[in-house]
Amino acid sequence: MRELLILELRKVTTRRSTRIKGIALIAMSVLMAVAVLGFENYYYVDGNGNESVLRGWDALSKKRELYRGIEGELASEAIRDALLTSNQLTDAYGSLKDIPLPVYYSELYPIEPVLKAMRTAIIDPNTGIALPFNSWTAEDAQDFYTLRTDILKRHLAIQYPDHPANIAQAMRMNSRIGHFTYIYGFGSNALDYLSLLLLLIVVICTIAVSPIYSGDYQSGADDILRCTKRGRAKLGIAKLAAAHILSLGLFAACISLYLAITMAIFGFDSLKTSLQMVSSAISFWPVSMGEAAALVAFSGALSLMAMVSFTALLSSRLKNPASTLAAALCMCFLPVVLYVIAGGTTVDWVRLILPSGGIGFQNSFLYELMNTRLVALGGLGAWSPCINPVACAIEIFAFGSLSVAAYARHEAT
């Protein structure tokens, strides 16, 4: 078995097309990691009174300096001070839009992350719309974390009145959240590009492994291999294992390279930032940005392996590699299509249990983690980020076993 696995690995890795795909993926990992820096912008008013902008590394350095005063644990006193500053400026100038740019950039810009957290936390539980700052009192700001928890509980009770057990689970998770932490650096853009890179890895690996069985069917090599001593189930297992090892190897190389470059740019300390400071402050998932990145990568690895097993199953049943590839690519993008053109509980369940349900754009695991939804099934319900990883873990073995069985039966005919 060991010799078969080594032989299959050598066979796959020596293909010119596989090497080109691997090099292209690694190059894309580097380019995407560097491209994240291009989203860094810092607007300011120059000496002539004109609005100017710094970009890239200069903007990142300036923002690090600017936000240093609010970095660390976000204390209730800092939230109160931010509210008082905002209300004083709106009292003096009217709405936020009427504040002169020099005043806005000098007074409000340095506390914008705190104001953003306040906007996404203090909402109308019925509508989810943020309440205006002038409706707050200094006492409300001082009790920000208690008020946020109360609003979260009322919001969930209004949204999901028939699922008290799930709400209780959410509140238990929320109880593990203390004060938010904020350190400027690794943010939503870096996570977005990580999610996009995962989609590219899955698509390229799906293309690479699509002829795993059907390639031999088409070339006629299978007619010879099936006559050998280990040419049935054992060879099928070796081919499947080689496809998984190749895919996971590319995955590990690309993700490690992407994260290493982004960490070199933004700094490891920024991974301590609470997810609530980047997405929604009423999120009840007690994770930091570093933990969120790890969860996204882990979910992506499960989706990749599930798609490899699913592609192997298609390849074991179809005699034409082109048909295998077309069907596998349709599965890659089916969750994206379902998310865009359809909705509802049934579609959500279908979309999330597909092997590619954790990758994509707005439908990806990242956005399910940031915008947690309860997907109901009768009287039961599950939080959306939990569904796809569990489904993929099952599908890896289910589709893989079925593919080997189908390949062995095909050889016996």
pLDDT digits (tens, 9 = 90+) for 81-140: 988 888 888 888 877 778 888 888 888 888 989 988 888 888 887 777 877 777 788 888
Residues 10, 272: Cα–Cα separation, whole Å = 41
Element (H, E) at 369: helix 365-370
Q: pLDDT at position 362, please?
A: 87
Amino acid of residue 275: L
3-class SS at 204?
Answer: helix
pTM, rounded to two decimals:
0.90
Q: In which residue ranges of the chain is pLDDT below 70?
A: 1, 3, 7, 215-232, 410-413
Residues in the chain: 413
Residues 377, 348: Cα–Cα separation, whole Å = 11
Alpha helix (H) residue ranges in 36-163 = 57-66, 76-93, 101-103, 112-121, 138-142, 144-159
Q: pLDDT at position 412, please?
A: 45
pLDDT digits (tens, 9 = 90+) for 241-253: 999 999 999 999 9
Residues 98, 89: Cα–Cα separation, whole Å = 10
Radius of gyration over every alpha carbon of the chain, rounded to an integer in angstroms: 25
Residues 110, 89: Cα–Cα separation, whole Å = 14
Q: pLDDT at position 169, please?
A: 93
Within 8 A by CB and 6+ apart from 252, the residues are none
